[in-house]
Amino acid sequence: MPLVTTKEILTKAVAQNYAVPHINISNLEHFDTILSTAAKLKSPIIVAFTTGLIKYYGDEILEGLCSAASKKYQIPFAVHLDHHKDPKDIFTRIKKNKYITSVMIDASLVDFEKNVAITKDVVEFCSKKGISVEAELGAIQGTEDDHSSADAFYTDPNLAIEFIKQTKIDALAISIGTVHGCVTKLAPSLDLKRLEQLRKTTTIPLVLHGCSGLNDEQIKTVVSKGIAKINIATEFKVVFHDGLVKYLHEHPTETDSRLFFGAANKNVKNLLESKIKLFNSENKG
């Protein structure tokens, strides 16, 4: 089916109280495994391209993949530019490509007024193209830890109301204590009361980044309290790596990449199946 926007996908998720998996794509085989698994379980899915992935493969290859997938898989899926910090880069990508249906402008590390100004520019441009915009208020610990105090990371519910009103974004990434990347020194500590207040006082879909280290019960809880989109990257990289290493260790002379990539992607498939069921997005596509 044709590509859809994240606004369309997440509006339904909010109404029916489930969360949609948002997967950062690492390689081409990864992409097809994600889409085929979501299609098997009839789950909506959001696939995300970072600036690094786009530079690595190029726009032409990625546009071809998205075009083919939209014809092959009969589920709603969106293609999202994740954590783009430069509006000019977003504008250039959109002008060059037809596959983009959603963007995230991440100006979370600048002050509130500048975040609003940058985000408003992106919304103004993207709304004319029918493209959804996600922004972030607060900062996720781990790779966005430039703030000097712990509380500075968290999303202020009162500021969130004003931020949404001024920017007219379609989704808001919030910080309630999650951590980007592999959890080492930092451990997630969820502020569920803050989440409840944010869900009560805001009207657009809420997004959770940095879910490394959260257990299944914590995930179920944040979904039940109104998180409509959960971003996952590190976990999929780890299981892909582990599957690859295990296969090559057991088959040290194997040179057919289809076999060892297949073993790695089996782990990706199994992980996504578990996430879809955990997020309650199965049969929602």
Is 231 annotated as belonging to a binding site? yes
- Residue 67 located in a structural domain: yes
- Residue positions annotated with a catalytic role: 82
Q: How many domains does the chain have?
A: 1
Residue with tokens 């020194």: 185
285 domain residue, yes or no: no
CA distance 153 to 141: 7
User: Does residue 147 belong to any structural domain of this protein?
Assistant: yes
- Would you state the pLDDT for residue 87? 96
Residue 1 falls within a domain, yes or no? no
Residue found under tokens 């910090």: 85
Q: Say which CATH number the domain at 11 has.
A: 3.20.20.70
Is 283 among the annotated ligand-binding positions? no
- Per-residue pLDDT at 18: 98
pLDDT in the model for residue 178: 85
| 211 labelled ligand-binding | yes
* pTM, full prediction: 0.92
Q: How confident is the prediction for the chain on average, in pLDDT?
A: 91
| Distance between CA atoms of residues 10 and 166, nearest Å | 21
Give me the pLDDT at residue 2, please: 84
pLDDT tens-digit readout, 9-39? 999 999 999 999 999 998 888 899 999 999 9
Q: Which domain holds residue 129?
A: 6-279
Alpha-carbon torsion (59, 65, 68, 70), positive or negative: negative
DSSP 75: S
The single-letter code of the amino acid at 242 is D
Confidence of residue 152 (pLDDT cuts 50, 70, 90): low
Mean pLDDT within 153-158 = 91
Contact 23, 240 (CB under 8 A): no
The answer to whether 36 touches 268, Cβ cutoff 8 Å, is no
Does residue 172 lie in a domain region? yes
pLDDT digits (tens, 9 = 90+) for 72-123: 999 999 999 998 999 999 999 999 888 999 999 999 989 999 999 999 999 9
Is residue 284 one of the residues assigned to a domain? no
Nearest residue to 132 (alpha-carbon basis) of 201, 46, 203, 210 = 46
Residue 5 has pLDDT above 90, yes or no: yes
Q: Tell me, what's the pLDDT at 187? A: 58
C-alpha closest to that of 280 among 4, 41, 24: 41
φ and ψ of 21, to 5 deg: -70, 135
What percent of the chain stands above pLDDT 70? 92
Tell me whether residue 52 is annotated as binding. no
**Do the annotations mark residue 234 as ligand-binding?**
yes
Asked if the structure places residue 87 within a domain, the reply is yes
282 is in an annotated binding site: no
SS (H, E, C) 108-162: CCCCHHHHHHHHHHHHHHHHCCCCEEEEEECCCECCCCCCCCHHHHCCCHHHHHH
Q: Would the annotation count 83 as a binding residue?
A: yes
Q: Is residue 115 part of a domain?
A: yes
Q: CA-to-CA distance for 12 and 22, rounded, in angstroms? A: 15
- The pLDDT of residue 182: 52
